[in-house]
With several copies, the nearest count.
Chain A
Amino acid sequence: MPVISYREALNHAIKEEMERDERVFLMGEEVGYYQGAYKVSQGLLQRFSERRVIDAPIAEMGFAGVGIGAAMVGLRPIIEFMTFNFSLVAIDQIVNNAAKIYQMSAGQFPIPIVFRGPGGPAVQVASQHSQALESMYSHVPGLKVAMPSTPYDAKGLLKSAVRDENPVIFIEGETLYNATGEVPDEEYLIPLGVAEVKRQGSHVSLIAWSAMVPVCMAAAEKLAEEGIEAEVVDPRTLRPLDAKTIVESVQKTGRCVIVEVGWPLCGYGAEVAYQVQRECLDSLDAPIERVTSEDVPMPYALNLEREVIPQVADVVSAVHKVLYLD
C-alpha cells in the first residue's frame, strides 16, 4: 500500500470530495495562493480555481458564519482555521449557529459543514498558540468532533466529515502532519463514532487520541520490555464517542489510563473516566488514572514545554501506578 503523510492524506481527502461533489468548497486564511499555512491545501487552488478555494481575510467569526450561511442553503463548506487557537474568536458562530440551526429550524436547515485545522500544542509557539480545545467543542450537542491520529484515519474520517449532514469539528494534530502511514489508493470512509484498538494488550488500557496515540504506542513498546502488554484504544471521534469499544477494553484489562494533551480540569478524559467507571466499576482493579498536560498556560522555552506536555515516561509511570508497581 502507498505510504503517505498525514498532510497528504488530508489533502487527498479534500481533493477527492471536491471532485466528487460540486457543492464542496474550501475557505480559510492562506488556503489558496499560499497553498495553506501548513500546506494541507497544496495544489487545490490550481485544481479548483478561486471559486472553490477561497482565501479569506483574517475574520474567523465572519468566514465561519459565511460557511454556515452557505451550508444552510445547500453548499457543503470546509472552513479551515489556520489553527484551532483562532477558532475562539469564531466559537459563537459554531456553538450558537452551526450547532443549533438544525434544531432551531426544527430540522428544516441541516448544516453540513466541516471546521478543520490543526489543534494542540506544536513546538515552542507559547501559550496563545498551544491549546487543545476538544473538550469545549465536545461539550456541545449538534456538533460532531473528530481527531485522527494516523494518515489512514485522517483521510477516512475527513471524507466522512465532508459527507456528514452535521457540523463537524475536525481537529488535526499539528505535530502529526509529517507522520507517514499506509493509505490505500482505493476510496474508503471511516464512519464517525467508531473507535479503533491501535494495539492489543491484556494488562492495561491506554485511551488516547490525536498526537497522544503515538506517545501511547511508544509507551506500550517500553512497557512490553517489562512484560506489560498495554492495549491502546483510539476513539478517533470524541463526539459521538464509541464508549463501547473503550469499555470492552477496560473490562478485559481491568485497568485504565487516559492520556490527553489538554489541560486536566474538565478535559475530555474526565468524561471518558466517568463513562468507564460507570460501566466497569466492578472490573476495575485500580482507580482510573489520567495523564494530561500540566494545568498551566504553555511556556515557550523548550525544556519547560517538555515538562508540561505528557511524555512517554509519564504514560509509563501512570501505568505502573494503576498496576501498583510504583
Chain B
Amino acid sequence: MRRIEPEEDTPDTSTKEELIPLYRQILAIRRMEEAAAKAYSQGKIGGFLHLIIGQEAVCVGAVSTLRRDDYVVATYREHGHAYAKGVSSRAILAELYGKKTGVVKGLGGSMHIFDKPTSFLGGYGIVGGHVPIAAGAGFASKYRGDGRVTLCFFGEGSSTIGGFQEGIALAALWKLPVVFICENNLYSMGTPLYRSLAVEDVSMRALAHGMARDRLDGDDVIRVRRRIQIAVDRARESGEPTLVEVRTYRFRGHSMSDPGLYRTREEVDEWKRRDPLAIARRRLVDECGASEEELRAVEDEVKKEIADAIRFAEDSPAADEYRPYVTKESPTGD
C-alpha cells in the first residue's frame, strides 16, 4: 500500500474538545453516504451518485481549518465537503431525492450542491472545470482584500486536464489565497494512478509555478487538519497558494454504477484497516480519554440526525420549478 509518511509516523496529539466534533462530522458523513446508497438502490435517488466513504477525514480535517465565510469549491463527489462546510444533511439528502426542499431545489442533484450561506461555491461535474473558478474566488478576495481563503478539492485523475493546470498557474502567478487539495484516492474511475500519471507525486505539479506544496496521508483527521492549517495560514497571511496532495482511498466504486472490479479484495481490505472513522475513534479513546458513553452519545445523535434527514427527504414535496433559474431579471433587457 502506497503510504506517504512512514508507518511509524505519529501525528500530533489532540484533545477531546478538538477531536469529538471532527469525529462527529466524519461519522455523520459516513452515515449520510450509506443512507444515500440505500435510497439509490431503492430507486429514490437517480442519476450519478459518487460516494466519499473512506475519504471523509480529508474534507472534514481540511474544512475544519476555515472560517464560515471562507470559500470551498469541490467536485461531483462533494456531499462530505458540503456537510463539513455547514450544509445540513436534510438539505443534502432532500437534494439527492430531487425535492423542492433540497439545497438547490432539486435542480442539481448529487453533483451540484451550492450553498451561499455557508460560502459553498459548488459541486462541479466537468473534471478540472472548477479549478479556475476557485482561483476566481481567490482573485476576488485579493481584489477586495477581504482576507478570505478558498479551498479547492479535486482528484488525482483531474490533475492533468487543462482547467486544473491553467487554474493553478494563474493562482501562482497572481498569488491568490487558494489551497488546492488533491484527494488522491489512487483511482480515476477504473484507472490506477500509474496508468494516468507519469509522476505519482501530484504535488510536484507545483514546482513549475514556484508554488508551495505538501503531501500527506489522509487517514488521520488531525494530521490533515494540522497540515492544511499551515497552507490556510499561508494563504491568509501572505496570500500565497499551496498545492497539497492527500493520499486516501474510496471504499466503494467510483459511482453507484461501478462494481469496482479493477481492485482486489485484499487491497480494499488493507485500506479499510486504516478507516479514518475507526482511527479517529481509537484516538479519542486511547489519547483523548473519551469514554464509551460519550462516544455512544455522539453516535446516537448522528443516527437520529440522519434518520431525521432521510424522513425529511422522503416527506418533502417534489421539486416544482426551474424556469425562474435560467436568466436573472436585470435592469436592462429581459
Contact = CB atoms under 8 A, between A and B. Distances in A.
A29 to B, nearest CB: 7
Task: Give the size category of B's interface with A.
Answer: 35 or more
Contacts of B157: 57-58
A97 B166 CA distance: 16
B123 to A, nearest CB: 8
Given A62-B135, A62-B169, A164-B333, A106 B114 contact: yes
Contact of B163 (A65, A72, A297): A65
Contacts of B132: 61-66, 68-69, 93
B11 interface: no
A55 B124 CA distance: 23
Contact of A106 (B107, B173, B332): B107
Interface string A44-55: 000000010001
A160 B196 CA distance: 32
A102 B322 contact: no
B192 to A, nearest CB: 9
Contacts of B115: 108
Contacts, number: 286
Contacts of B103: 106
B216 interface: no
Given A33-B190, A126-B111, A106 B104 contact: yes
B140 A74 contact: yes
Interface string B123-137: 011111111111111
B116 A63 contact: no
A30 B169 contact: no
A124 B319 CA distance: 13
A19 to B, nearest CB: 17
A75 B330 contact: no
B189 A29 contact: yes
Contacts of B140: 69-70, 73-75
A191 B332 contact: yes
A302 B98 contact: yes
B333 A160 contact: yes
Nearest to B328: A165
A30 B191 CA distance: 7
B169 A59 contact: yes
Contact of A299 (B107, B121, B133, B160): B107
A267 interface: no
Interface in A88-141: 88-89, 92-93, 96-97, 101-110, 122-129, 141
Given A58-B157, A66-B135, A144-B333, 14 more contacts: A30-B190, A55-B191, A58-B160, A61-B132, A62-B163, A62-B166, A66-B167, A73-B137, A103-B322, A104-B114, A110-B328, A125-B48, A301-B109, A302-B46
Q: Which 4 A-B pairs have the closest CB atoms?
A: A69-B136, A65-B132, A62-B166, A192-B333
Interface of B: 46-48, 71, 73, 95, 98-99, 103-109, 111-112, 114-116, 121-122, 124-141, 143-144, 157-158, 160-163, 166-167, 169-170, 173, 188-191, 195-197, 262, 318-320, 322-334
29 contacts: A34-B191, A57-B196, A58-B160, A62-B132, A62-B162, A65-B129, A69-B135, A69-B137, A70-B143, A71-B136, A73-B71, A89-B129, A93-B163, A96-B126, A97-B130, A102-B326, A102-B328, A103-B325, A104-B122, A109-B116, A124-B109, A128-B125, A164-B330, A166-B330, A294-B323, A296-B323, A299-B106, A300-B46, A303-B98
